[in-house]
């Protein structure tokens, strides 16, 4: 199973370049190797830590100067379109570097998705066997993941354009980082008090539908950039009676579903526009760097949470918010 997942990952990385090399147009403004490496590393390191990958990527794209909203033209001088003019949209939507960079930061999540698929292949095999009626625990886990996935999927689909237009800013990230830090400190206090009474013994395969739904509802809050999907789902695991390790592992598995859906949707919606601006090679580099960084990050987080909980990440969030505020407003 692990070899199969690795093979699919490698094929997915190599395939587009091989399939589209002859037909793909020359990129308008290809990313540098350094930019692709930085964005991939930021995505991979922060995706599963409770510090918000979206918030850090917003800051990274700003620092790298990838947020220009000036309309782009092709090498023939003709305007490039994200959405061509139509009866419903007479002015159309011109293609910009900011739009391509926004898509890039979503699509390179594929690397983080692949990392979880490889690291937790046994759980995926268990769920696959559950679908075949051969593993009741795997079927129960899959049911819980689907229930937890649905709320944010529906809300994200309904609000993604409004969120992209109004919430992707440094100010919203700062606010979310501070609020998230306070939430983490409260959650850790709750967990310590709970464990002092009755240490957590529940397993992800034992979650009730109501508990899974509650975790999914908490994940909806992460649609606000800077909040952190992993933070909300780990806290949801605490509230459902899971210990830090199992809360994190359920968060990783739920992230596989959530990130796969987001990556597929964004790739379908504007992936071609991104490739038109940046080209294939550095998109693939970003995915590969994100995969390696995410694998290391997942291993680190599981070991850290097992010993220390999430409190340290709250203090990091406050320091990060203070630094952003100073750089932005001072």
User: What is the mean pLDDT, run by run of 10 residues, along the chain of 330 residues?
Assistant: 43 40 55 93 97 94 91 81 86 88 93 96 97 96 98 95 89 96 97 88 91 98 96 97 95 96 90 84 93 97 95 98 91
What pLDDT is attached to residue 25?
Answer: 54
pLDDT of amino acid 30:
64
Handedness of CA 94, 165, 217, 219 (dihedral sign): positive
**pLDDT score of 246:** 95
What lies within 8 Å, CB to CB, of 80 at 6+ separation is 28, 71, 72, 73, 74, 94, 95, 273, 276, 277
């Amino acid at each position: 199973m692990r070899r199969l997942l690795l093979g699919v990952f490698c094929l997915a990385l190599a395939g587009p370049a091989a399939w589209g090399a002859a037909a793909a147009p020359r990129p308008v403004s290809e990313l540098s190797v350094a930019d692709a490496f930085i964005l991939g590393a930021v995505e991979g390191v922060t995706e599963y830590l409770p510090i918000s990958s979206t918030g850090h990527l917003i800051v990274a794209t700003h620092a790298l100067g990838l947020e220009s909203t000036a309309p782009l033209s092709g090498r023939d001088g003709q305007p490039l379109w994200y959405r061509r003019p139509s009866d419903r949209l007479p002015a159309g939507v011109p293609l910009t570097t900011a739009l391509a960079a926004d898509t890039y930061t979503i699509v390179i999540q594929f690397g983080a998705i692949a990392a979880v698929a490889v690291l937790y292949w046994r759980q995926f095999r268990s769920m696959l066997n559950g679908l075949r009626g051969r593993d009741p625990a795997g079927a129960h886990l899959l049911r819980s993941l689907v229930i937890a996935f649905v709320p944010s999927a529906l809300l994200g689909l309904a609000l993604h354009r409004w969120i992209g237009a109004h919430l992707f800013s440094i100010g919203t990230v700062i606010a979310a980082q501070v609020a998230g830090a306070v939430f983490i400190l409260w959650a850790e206090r709750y967990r310590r008090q709970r464990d002092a009474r009755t240490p957590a013994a529940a397993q992800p395969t034992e979650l009730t539908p109501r508990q899974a739904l509650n975790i999914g509802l908490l994940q909806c809050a992460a649609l606000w950039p800077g909040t952190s999907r992993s933070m909300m789902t780990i806290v949801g695991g605490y509230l459902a009676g899971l210990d830090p390790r199992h809360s994190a592992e359920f968060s990783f598995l739920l992230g596989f579903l959530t990130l796969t859906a987001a990556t597929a949707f964004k790739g379908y919606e504007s992936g071609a526009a991104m490739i038109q601006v940046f080209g294939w090679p550095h998109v693939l580099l970003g995915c590969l760097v994100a995969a390696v960084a995410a694998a290391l990050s997942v291993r680190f987080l599981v070991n850290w949470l097992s010993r220390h909980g999430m409190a340290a990440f709250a203090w990091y969030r406050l320091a990060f918010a203070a630094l952003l505020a100073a750089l932005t407003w001072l």
